[in-house]
Structure 1
Amino acid sequence: MRKITFEDYKNAVRAKFEIEKEGVYFNFLTPPSQANLRNLCWERFKSNSNADDLSIFSSFFEFEFDPEKRNHFREQTDKFRPIGTFLRGAKDPANQFAVELAAVLVDFQPRPFKKYRERGIVISENPIDAPKIPLAFAALENDEGKEEKNEKDEEEDKFEGSLIAKKRFNFIQNFRAGISDNFKKKLKLITIGVFIVFGLGFIISRYTFPKKQCMQWSNDHYEKVDCDLSANGLIPFTIEPFDEIKFELKKVTVCDTTTCFKNGKPIIWYAKTGDAADFFNTHGIHPENEKALRPVTQYIFNKYKKPCGSK
């Protein structure tokens, strides 16, 4: 059998592209624009630990793949132009690593070219049906330094040719059937994954993010209430969304023995209401007149305090 060339490898990668653009990643490959190929490349490498693939990446881009530097990777969009033209069959790239990266993007196996050549995969020069696909597996060549086939080898190849031709049709059918089965399995897994994600999302939202709560001012403190009560117009106080900090606000009675200062700093706040003053345990807004609460002073304490025991 003839030696495998890099041209065979390029044809095989293009053939895999024709199959993949109808598969799970069709949205990245139809069309194979620079931006689409860039996004597909990120998907392929963000969880890729294959040493050969990572070596191809660094050889092509001249820097190591780093999932923490996506913005830097976005700047490499123009580098995908030759890969796009190669996959469309318009022009072969001058850089060999562009073909190797294309093989990674369409998940062609075996890759890189060295492994492909060692496996002895050949491409039909006159395929039965487009696109071109791998047709047969040849025997492994142990010695890459063999000389050109002699006339005797060529006669044996002709003898074997009829047998190979018979095997091609069965290989194509099995190859396509394998692709179809793989696609169905992937689609099934994706469907199951979607249901699991939505199910977990519902459970998390149900228990982690419970029904929205509201609160309203009741005489001297806030109480939790049903948010729907505001719709019937029968609630005397304004219902507002629950605020954990604001919920701690309470009105307090200040008398002669009330401690209003600690270490010289006020721990009671107030707001005037006509000729009197209301006192609260923390800062904020007066729930009834919406005045800003101020820290109590000794003057305000002496002026508006009530005798202890009085209502």
Structure 2
Amino acid sequence: MFEEYKIELLDFYRQRKIGNQLSDNLENVQRWKLRNECLRIFAEKNTNKDQEIIKAFFDPSGEFNDPVRSIEKVGLDKFRPLISFLLEGKNIRDDASVKLLAWLMDFDSYQEWKSKKGMAIIVPPIVEPPVVEPPSVELPTVNSPVIVDPGTVVNPPVNAPVDISEVRNPLQKILDKIIERPLSIKITTIICITFLGVGGFFSMGITTDTIRQPLADEKCMYWTGSHYEPVKCDEKIKNVTIIPINLRTLNSLKKIDLTDTLTRYSLGKVWYSKIDGKREFFTDSGAHPMNPYKKLRPLSKYILSNYISYYRYLLTYLKWTVCLIVFVVLLMVCIIYLLREQKKKRHSLN
């Protein structure tokens, strides 16, 4: 029943958005806008029922006595499932999140919705179908002849042997098909798989983002999450902020995802900022791409020694190296096995 409630809540949001009946914070929904909307709605209502909804979502452990303070202190990541639900229709498992959305959009509470729907469910009586006796059919005995065509009599085999090859292990069938292939094809396949595995290993951690240069009519840009992308100023893109283009920032500012790769040689070349309690690192100075009021700070020795671990990065590479060695050993065993099977096959033919 609660799943139906969530579906109707999502339909209600979409209908109000089409009809331009949502507030500015809910029209172009973002994490910080949802927090501001909670503060605005609570300032207007502030009933005991509203306080229960706020406490269930923002302060379930009872850490804060002030509902407003609990809203202001919550991390913005807590709103991510709500945004995914509204924009993409992804399911929310937390009942408190669903009830908070209903409260923000002035939708019926779950109890009110249930009372309107009516929870009395009438179970229809179970009617057993009448038992119908199957018609009796005389089956031929084991030794009785079965007439296939006029003038042709065939005796059915008794205790016919079962072909064991039909019920063998499917993996063994695959191996047999591989063995039947020419040896050159087998070796070539294994070498290709090896090169793919080695290439994937050494490409781990390499950034593949490429910066596209702007066209003549692209005078603006937006942040993709890892770098800036040029775009037309009048283009509309969901949940992004379009700003005037800056070629230096476009070409030099990127987000560093593998932060453990930073060393003392990165000092003076890397900048960082703390967002929602998490430090993010970038390749150039300036303002934070998602928060223009927050300035990026240069990487310091304190941050490098306390929040970045190059040894952890080396340990990760060590784990992948061991996996790669095991992978290569298994491939060598497979090649030896194929060579032996090929040799056996030749001896049997001779």
What range is the shorter-chain TM-score in? 0.3 to 0.5
Larger RCO (CA within 8 A; separation ≥ 6): 1
> Normalising by the residue count of structure 1, what TM-score does the alignment of the two structures yield?
0.35
TM-score (norm 2): 0.31
